[in-house]
Copies of this chain bind each other. A is one copy, B any other.
Amino acid sequence: MRDAYFDQLDSIVDDLVAMTHEVQTAVSRSTRALLTASAEVAERVVSDDADVDAARERIEARCFELLALQQPVATDLRMLVAALRMVADLERMGDLSVHVAKVARLRVPDVAIPDELVPTIERMAAVAERMVGQAASVIAGRDVAAALALEESDDEMDQLRRSSFRRMLADDWPYGVEPAVDIALLGRYYERIADHAVSLARRVVYLVTGETAPAEL
């Protein structure tokens, strides 16, 4: 009976890792939709988000079942509460990918981003996608060192976002309001995906060390 219980705890971790990879795919596809102006790829991100939501419901239901039936204490209790929070982070990351895809879809057949800004957006997207992948490794391996590396990637995201603002607000910005508004919001979406990846990693650090990271958990 207890063995079945520990198997169930392990399988929740496996499911969290799988859900994180699903989200990573959504981030990657939404960026592709954006940079290739593909309505088809954008639609796929929007429709596949139902799978991310379903994964959240499935994992939540299992966490509640274990909380109610097994009355876990200490580490197991913390782990289940952390899992409930992590699925909420992951669902939001899925939603944010949908927001990126919808910006792409709104501008089809045009690419929403002026050529000159494509490298900055590509870099933001690559940083976000890498951070989601790193979060999956942190969860799978309970890897505290990898969690710290994630915080450094977050600094890079901040810098990219600031650089995009400098460009858009410069006097010689020739593209007008629409791409500026799109880039401001896209930057915000990628930044939030990155924030949630950091949050996932911090929850693992808290589980392993029992301590919250220097910043808020």
Residues of A within 8 A of B (CB): 53, 56, 64, 67-68, 71, 73-74, 77-78, 81, 84-85, 88, 91, 165, 168-169, 173, 176-178, 180-181, 184-185, 188, 216
Contacts and interface: CB of A to CB of B under 8 A. Distances in A.
A124 to B, nearest CB: 16
A91 to B, nearest CB: 8
Nearest to A78: B64
Contacts of A180: 177, 180-181
- Which DSSP category, helix, strand, loop or mixed, fits chain A's interface? helix
Nearest to A56: B216
A84 B82 CA distance: 10
Contact of A84 (B56, B85, B168, B178): B85
A74 B85 contact: no
Contacts of A169: 177-178, 181
A178 B178 CA distance: 12
Contacts of A81: 64, 67, 81, 84
Given A67-B77, A177-B180, 17 more contacts: A64-B78, A64-B81, A67-B81, A68-B73, A68-B77, A81-B84, A84-B84, A85-B85, A85-B88, A88-B88, A91-B216, A165-B181, A168-B177, A173-B177, A184-B184, A184-B185, A185-B188
